[in-house]
Amino acid sequence: MQRLFFSLKFSAAQQHQLLPYQRQALGLWLGAKAVDNDNLHLTLFFLGQVNTGQQQRLVGAARQIKAPAFSLTLDHLACFAKPKILYLAPSAVPPELTKLQQQVAALCEAEGFSDSHDNYQPHITLARHAVCSSKYYQTQQPVIIKVTEFALYCSDSSRERLRYQPLVTFNML
C-alpha cells in the first residue's frame, strides 16, 4: 500500500517561481514551516492508501483523460486556519482546471475513493504550522504557470523528510 494523490506537475523552474511567495508567507507568521521546494504542487485529488491493483486501474483510467494545457494565474495568499496552512491560489479558477479535476475525481470515485473535502479549492501549500485566521487574504503580484502535465504522486516519509514523488506523468494536449 502506498499513500497516493493526483496533482498538477510543476517543473523545477516553476516551483522556483513560487519561492518569493513562500518567503513572504513565512515572514507573516513566525513558527510556520516551509514546504520543501520540490514538494510544491497543486492537488487534484487525494487518495490516501492505495493497493497495487487499484493503482494500476487508476493509471489506466487517467491515461484516457484528454485535457488541454492551460495557464494558471496564482494571485493571492490565504490561510486555512484549521489545518494551519498558508497557501497561494488563483482568484479565478480556469475552467480547464475545473474540468481536469472533475475528470480525475470521477475516475477516483469510480474506483471507490471519496474526496475528504466538501468542495475543491485549488491551492499550493507554501507553509504548514501557521497559526493564522481563515479570513487572511492578500492579493499578490500574479505569477502565471503554464500547466502541461499532471501526475500520480506517492507521498513518502523517509529519514524524517516528506517527499512527493511522481509515479506516472500524464501529458496534456
Domain count across the chain? 1
With a cut of 90, say whether residue 161 has pLDDT above it. Answer: no
CATH number at residue 32: 3.90.1140.10
How many C-beta atoms surround the C-beta of residue 2 within 10 A?
Answer: 18
Q: Which residues pair with 169 in a beta bridge?
A: 151
With a cut of 90, say whether residue 31 has pLDDT above it. Answer: no
Q: What's the chain's average pLDDT?
A: 94
Tell me the pLDDT tens digit for each residue of 74-86.
999 999 988 899 9
Q: Return the minimum-mean-pLDDT range out of 27-36, 51-60, 112-121.
A: 112-121
Categorize the per-residue pLDDT at 118 as very low, low, confident or very high, splitting at 50, 70 and 90: low
Q: What was the pLDDT predicted at 116?
A: 66
* Domain carrying residue 31: 2-171
Q: What was the pLDDT predicted at 117?
A: 63
pTM: 0.94
Q: What was the pLDDT predicted at 28?
A: 82
